[in-house]
């Protein structure tokens, strides 16, 4: 196997035993990290000179509906009702397998380009095994590490006559994928189940879906919603009592939850993912990062949809940190306490939300999330001498508070260089063709769905 040595200017491992240091080195062989330290004295087939750069773990996007990539930006001034009207009740019903493929391919490439090495693709417009397979093809062809969270399309009720809240997750598709191309948990693309959960599905469906996920050894993930709209209002507490809520379940949003709800999640060992930029855009309740953290949870972060906002995890991380800090400072004063003398939410914590916590939510923390010997070689290199970055005084501050997608120089996923010298290694001619196909896909969907972006130049 090919051995590659990276010589780092600043090395941020996020491994508490290794720490962070100047002039470090990382040696990886094949797709796994072999050694981390200073002056390793290792022989290598290739040397990457990052002596003037920051080297860090790849970011983990723990929740994204990548199938909506062709619709980027159209919901910039939407509310939730607009999303359900135009997407789930209209445009989603017009998707074909190739629409899923091109959206997932370009969406995943954009994630790589912006320093994300792992994407949880919460794919909830699936109506057939072929549609699922082509969505997976897009992820696989991009080169990203991905968790394909198989979901079911809400408009299923239009063809079955049964409300989608009453329809259990399709066993035949999960069985075909789990016994086929996604049979193991060590591959670059793995399987999870994007289920309705108790906020969106009937209790019998919740029981069925959780038990099936466990039967196949899969993490399940579910959206939350406003309490007054929940199908099973006490659903997560009921799940906990029934032994159905645990470390193999991930909740998304939780913006209408209270402290008692978060404690149920934390005490069960389940995880919660916030999608801060989208939640700040139109959710009624506060994004859950601060409250979930206060309850003892370790948040993870995701993008959700690019219809509303940027898909860049650096921006998501920065927004989450600023929200959590501001919320905690205000809450402290409202409790009648003296003003904090030091910042209540540290910068490193936000980086952990975007790396190791995202990995942990989908049981990947033994493989990724830190730059540790034995883990997969998922590595990001940032230019430290860019005009918006220099000078670097503390690399963690620079990563979290300052950096953006434009500073990403090199991205390595599973030991393969997917971006180098600021450019994707994906073939440029193929990329140009695929971008045209993405534009055609979006135009067709909106044309057939009768949707026009209000105020857009014609």
Question: In which residue are the tokens 């290598």 written?
Answer: 44
The pLDDT score that the predictor gives to residue 277 is: 97
User: Mind listing the pLDDT tens digit for each residue in 96-105?
Assistant: 999 999 999 9
The pLDDT score that the predictor gives to residue 153 is: 86
Range 3-56+379-413 has CATH code 2.30.40.10: yes
Task: Give, in order, the Cα–Cα distances in Å from 146 to each of 51, 135, 186.
Answer: 30, 11, 11
Confidence of residue 311 (pLDDT cuts 50, 70, 90): very high
- Rounded to whole angstroms, how far apart are CA atoms 131 and 445? 16
455 sits in the region (left: phi over 0; alpha: psi -120 to 50; else beta) called left
List beta partners, residue 30: none
User: Mind listing the pLDDT tens digit for each residue in 226-249?
Assistant: 888 899 999 999 999 999 999 999
- Rounded to whole angstroms, how far apart are CA atoms 321 and 305? 20
Contact criterion met (CB below 8 Å) for 64 and 119: yes
b (16+ CB within 10 A) / e for 62-76? bbbbbbbbbbbebbe
- Rounded to whole angstroms, how far apart are CA atoms 302 and 19? 26
Confidence of residue 157 (pLDDT cuts 50, 70, 90): very low
User: Mind listing the pLDDT tens digit for each residue in 85-119?
Assistant: 999 999 999 999 999 999 999 999 999 999 999 99
- Rounded to whole angstroms, how far apart are CA atoms 300 and 250? 10
Show the tokens assigned to 382. Answer: 């940032």
- Rounded to whole angstroms, how far apart are CA atoms 164 and 156? 6
- Rounded to whole angstroms, how far apart are CA atoms 381 and 422? 10
Q: Is the pLDDT of residue 156 over 60?
A: no
- For residue 148, the SS3 value is strand
Of 374, 352, 385, which Cα lies nearest the Cα of 50? 385
- Rounded to whole angstroms, how far apart are CA atoms 193 and 201? 14
The CATH code of the domain at 59-361 is 3.20.20.140
**SS3 readout for 220-277:** EEEECCCHHHCCCCCHHHHHHHCCCCCCCEEEECCCCCCHHHHHHHHHHCCEEEECHH
The pLDDT score that the predictor gives to residue 159 is: 57
Contact criterion met (CB below 8 Å) for 93 and 128: no
Of 96, 98, 97, 108, which Cα lies nearest the Cα of 69? 108
Query: What average pLDDT does range 193-204 have in this prediction?
Result: 96
For helices 97-113 and 428-449, give the axis angle rounded to 10 degrees. 130
Contact criterion met (CB below 8 Å) for 33 and 4: no
b (16+ CB within 10 A) / e for 18-36? bebeeebbbbbbebebbeb
Show the tokens assigned to 180. Answer: 């086929």
Contact criterion met (CB below 8 Å) for 32 and 376: yes
- Rounded to whole angstroms, how far apart are CA atoms 118 and 209? 25
- For residue 159, the SS3 value is helix
Q: Which of the pair, 450 or 159, is modelled with greater confidence?
A: 450
User: Mind listing the pLDDT tens digit for each residue in 430-440?
Assistant: 999 999 999 99
Of 361, 344, 349, which Cα lies nearest the Cα of 401? 349
Contact criterion met (CB below 8 Å) for 189 and 148: yes
The pLDDT score that the predictor gives to residue 335 is: 87
Confidence of residue 331 (pLDDT cuts 50, 70, 90): confident
DSSP class of 304 = B
User: Mind listing the pLDDT tens digit for each residue in 367-423?
Assistant: 999 999 999 999 999 999 999 999 999 999 999 999 999 999 999 999 999 999 999
User: Which is it for strands 416-420 and 423-424: parallel, antiparallel or unpaired?
Assistant: antiparallel
- For residue 30, the SS3 value is coil
Of the ranges 73-77, 110-114, 283-287, which one carries the lowest mean pLDDT score?
Answer: 283-287
Show the tokens assigned to 264. Answer: 């149920």
DSSP class of 85 = I
Show the tokens assigned to 398. Answer: 């620079």
Kindly list the domain boundaries of the chain, sorted by start residue. 3-56+379-413, 59-361
User: Does the global pTM surpass 0.85?
Assistant: yes
């Amino acid at each position: 196997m090919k051995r590659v040595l990276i010589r780092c200017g600043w090395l941020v491992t996020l491994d508490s035993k290794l720490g962070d240091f100047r002039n470090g080195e990382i040696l990886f062989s094949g797709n796994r990290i072999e050694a981390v330290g200073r002056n390793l004295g290792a022989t290598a087939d290739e040397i990457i000179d990052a002596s003037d750069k920051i080297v860090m773990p790849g970011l983990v996007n723990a929740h994204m509906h990548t199938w909506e990539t062709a619709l980027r930006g159209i919901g910039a001034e939407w509310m939730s009702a607009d999303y359900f009207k135009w997407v789930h009740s209209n445009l989603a019903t017009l998707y074909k397998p190739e629409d899923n493929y091109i959206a997932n391919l370009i969406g995943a490439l954009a994630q790589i380009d912006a320093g994300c090495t792992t994407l949880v693709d919460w794919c909830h417009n699936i109506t057939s095994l072929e549609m699922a397979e082509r969505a997976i093809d897009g992820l696989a062809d991009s080169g990203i590490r991905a968790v394909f969270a198989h979901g079911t399309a809400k408009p299923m009720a239009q063809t079955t006559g049964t409300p989608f809240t009453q329809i259990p997750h399709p066993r035949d598709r999960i069985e075909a994928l789990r016994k086929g191309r996604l049979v193991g948990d060590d591959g670059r693309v793995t399987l999870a189940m994007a289920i309705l959960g108790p906020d969106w599905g009937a209790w019998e469906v919740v029981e069925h879906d959780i038990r099936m996920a466990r039967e196949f050894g899969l993490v399940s993930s579910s959206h939350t919603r406003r309490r007054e709209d929940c199908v099973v209002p006490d659903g997560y507490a009921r799940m906990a009592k029934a032994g159905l809520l645990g470390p193999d379940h991930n909740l998304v949003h939780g913006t209408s939850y209270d402290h008692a709800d978060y404690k149920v999640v934390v005490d069960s060992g389940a995880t919660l993912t916030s999608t801060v930029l989208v939640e700040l855009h139109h959710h009624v309740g506060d994004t859950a990062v601060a409250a979930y953290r206060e309850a003892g949870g370790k948040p993870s972060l995701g993008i959700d949809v690019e219809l509303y906002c940027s898909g860049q995890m650096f921006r998501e991380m920065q927004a989450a940190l600023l929200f959590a800090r501001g919320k905690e400072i205000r809450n402290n004063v409202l409790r009648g306490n003296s003003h904090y003398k030091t910042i209540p939410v540290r910068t490193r914590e936000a980086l952990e939300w975007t790396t190791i916590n995202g990995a942990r939510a989908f049981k990947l923390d033994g493989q990724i999330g830190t730059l540790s010997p034995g883990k997969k070689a998922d590595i990001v290199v940032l230019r430290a001498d860019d005009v918006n970055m220099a000078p670097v005084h503390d690399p963690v501050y620079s990563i979290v508070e300052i950096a953006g997608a434009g500073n990403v120089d090199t991205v390595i996923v599973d030991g393969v260089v997917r971006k180098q010298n600021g450019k994707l290694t994906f073939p440029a001619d193929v990329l140009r063709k695929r971008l045209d196909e993405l534009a055609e896909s979006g135009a067709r969907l909106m044309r057939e769905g009768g949707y026009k972006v209000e105020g857009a130049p014609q």
